[in-house]
Amino acid sequence: MKHIIIGTAGHIDHGKTTLIRALTGRETDTLKEEKERGISINLGFTFFDLPSGKRAGIIDVPGHEKFIKNMLAGVSGIDLVLMVIAADEGVMPQTREHFEILQLLNVNKGIIVITKIDLVDKDWLEMVVEDVKNEFKGTFLEDVPIHKVSSKTKEGLDSLIEDIDRLTDVVPARDTVGHFRLPVDRVFSVSGFGTVVTGTIISGKIKEGENVQIYPLKIKSKVRGIQVHGQQVREAEAGERCAINVANVKTSDIDRGDVVSVENFMEPSLMVDCKLYYLKSASRPLENRQRVRLYHGTSEIICRVVILDREKVNPGEEAYVQLRLEKQLTSQRNDRFVIRSYSPMYTIGGGTIIEPVARKAKRFNMDYVEELKLKESGKTESILENTIKNLSSTYPGKEEILKAIGKKDDNIQEELKKLMENESIAVLNKGDKPVYIHRDFLDKKVEMLQGILKDFHSKNPLKRGMSKEEIKNRVFGNKIKQKIYDYIIELLKGRNEIKLYGNFISLENFKVEYTPAQNKIRENILFQFNKSGFIPPKYLELEAGCGDKRNFEMVFESLVEDGDIVKVGENCWFLSKDYELAKNVVINFIKTRGSMSLAQLRDELNTSRKYATILMEHFDGIKLTKRVDDERILY
């Protein structure tokens, strides 16, 4: 079932609230001050049962210029506007400002209602009608019905009601499939129930018992109950005004302008990128970094306008801008907004949010502006690719990508598949919780990695490669999760970009090659170890016998890295075959005798007590053996 929200607009004291009372029989001014002063201050809410059986929600907005922020909070959720103009006064300043706001918020269905016709004569009324037609020429109200009514005598109300009923059929239905979103316009406490928030659902559905999150503070809560037009319901959907009883939340934790939505879907931000239209009626150009008031949904936030593609914005011009906010905004791509001057307050422009979670942009960076144009175009596959490109350094999953795009997309899996097939993106961990990165990001990392390895190989020609951990820190940073890093390394290995040797990484085409002089050093080192057996030569003695210190260091490190020599203690190495022999001697001896002492190991290997001690402590360290008193047993 389609749900419609009707809103009023117009100058103060032009009869908006009286008209709603005449149409519905209900009063929308509920504050004592409103009744005493005879003007609307806050938003008024009621409903309207139409002849066709449809029930429409009604939002009555205040007309006084002091309460424009309340008016903005109301019209942000309407589908159809009743533009109210009093017959005795005609078009007035707030008529024009309200209409500009409606256009900026893309409200494009409406009816003009000329009220108080009982106060004027026929000639005056016809003059007002002509004036109204001229005022709205070339706008969405140009050819709409103009109804002349008296809320006092009820004249003209029947035909107005028929037109409202007819027009509700052509108003586009709200998105009930997307994620649930409700901008809060009121919050209060009900004895015995707790905190209640009200607002117009602008997308999705909500059911009793569902979990929700309140942004920007990201407070998690649960829906305890829902009311629509005072009736308890199990479910409410886009286009309906509703009251939601939220569990375990204080009224002090929620403000008008907050957004109730699904968990972990939205991301508040202090910067948003936008396409701004600056009103022709503005008195002077919009300057860079000018302080303004932003109105989005039901929120009002002070911000500065950073103009990205020009020096200043003249009246009637459009521009790409970044709004830098003084408190966080929770928005989605394609949301509409309005800006008003900081002081004195009057409406100066508005437009569309292109990037709801923006990164700080430099002025006149045309690559950044082109990126905004791409997002503005709405080409889903391009937007998806661009979003992944921007998020690649955070290694995003599907949820993070959807959150950044700012809308539900049931086809995202198909679109991701297309991007993978044309190699625009790469997927890491294809099974559980895949991560997506852009080809350009990966290519830059590969280029950086290969540059580091090339430099490393030139300085260390006898080393098989750099350690994986050092590569991780230098190329990807220490914030990358180990699991994701391992996936990237496996991907690069599969693409023949690199080779792996245990915990070492090298270029694919790299191999260790000894020069004749280095080969001679290598043979001498191995000869000395073979000759010495279990009383191995000391490092400094081997180095002194070589004469070429730099080449000796590289050759010795290469022998250790390749496993020809095994380090077992400080300044103590054994040939690999001797090390393995010592392990087997220990294992077989203990299996036969039950335990082994240092003296017995010394005698079995024909070594000294010093090296027997080093070996036994090493075997304890790798948990081959365990010390019990003065003996060793197998671990």
Note whether 112 and 144 are within 8 A (CB).
yes
**Does the pLDDT of residue 25 top 90, yes or no?**
no
Instruction: List all residues 6 or more positions away from 583 whose beta carbon is below 8 Å from its beta carbon.
Output: 619, 624
Domain 379-513 identical in fold to domain 516-634: yes
Q: Which residues pair with 8 in a beta bridge?
A: 82
Per-residue pLDDT averaged across 366-384, rounded? 81
* Top-level class of domain 5-168: alpha beta
**Does the pLDDT of residue 631 top 80, yes or no?**
yes
Q: What is the DSSP letter of 474?
A: I
Which two structure tokens, joined as six digits, stand for 173?
A: 């239905």
Q: How does DSSP assign 294-317, residue by residue? A: EEETTEEEEEEEEESSSSEE-TT-
* Top-level class of domain 379-513: mainly alpha
Nearest to 5 by CA among 166, 200, 144, 162: 200
Q: Which residues pair with 81 in a beta bridge?
A: 7, 110
Pairing of strands 235-237, 312-313: unpaired
Note whether 131 and 85 are within 8 A (CB).
no
What pLDDT, in 10s, does the model give residues 275-298? Answer: 999 999 998 999 999 999 999 988
| Torsion of the alpha carbons at 171, 175, 177 and 180, rounded to the nearest 10 | -140
Domain ranges in the chain? 5-168, 181-261, 269-371, 379-513, 516-634
Q: Tell me how far apart the alpha carbons of residues 459 and 80 are, in angstroms, rounded to a whole number.
A: 73
Q: Tell me how far apart the alpha carbons of residues 301 and 210 are, in angstroms, rounded to a whole number.
A: 30
Nearest to 249 by CA among 281, 284, 276, 213: 213
What pLDDT, in 10s, does the model give residues 319-365? Answer: 999 999 999 999 988 889 999 999 888 889 999 999 898 889 999 99
Thinking of the domain 516-634, which architecture would CATH place it in? Orthogonal Bundle (1.10)
Which two structure tokens, joined as six digits, stand for 530?
A: 């073979």
Q: What is the DSSP letter of 203?
A: B
* Whether domain 181-261 has CATH 3.30.70.1290: no
Per-residue pLDDT averaged across 479-502, rounded? 89
What pLDDT, in 10s, does the model give residues 403-447? Answer: 777 655 557 788 888 888 888 899 887 667 889 999 999 999 999
What pLDDT, in 10s, does the model give residues 598-622? Answer: 999 999 999 999 999 999 999 999 9
401-to-183, 280, 310, 385, 386 alpha-carbon distances in Å? 23, 38, 31, 10, 10
* Whether domain 269-371 has CATH 3.20.20.140: no
pTM for this model (two decimals): 0.66
Output b/e per residue, 440-478; b: 16+ Cβ within 10 A: ebbeebbeebbebbeebbeebbbbbbbebeebbeebbee
Residue with the two structure tokens 């709409």: 144
Distance of CA 208 to the CA centre of its chain: 27
Where would I find the beta strands (DSSP E) of 240-357? 241-246, 259-261, 269-278, 286-287, 290-296, 299-307, 312-313, 318-329, 336-341, 347-355
Residue 267 sits at φ, ψ, to 5 deg, of -130, 110
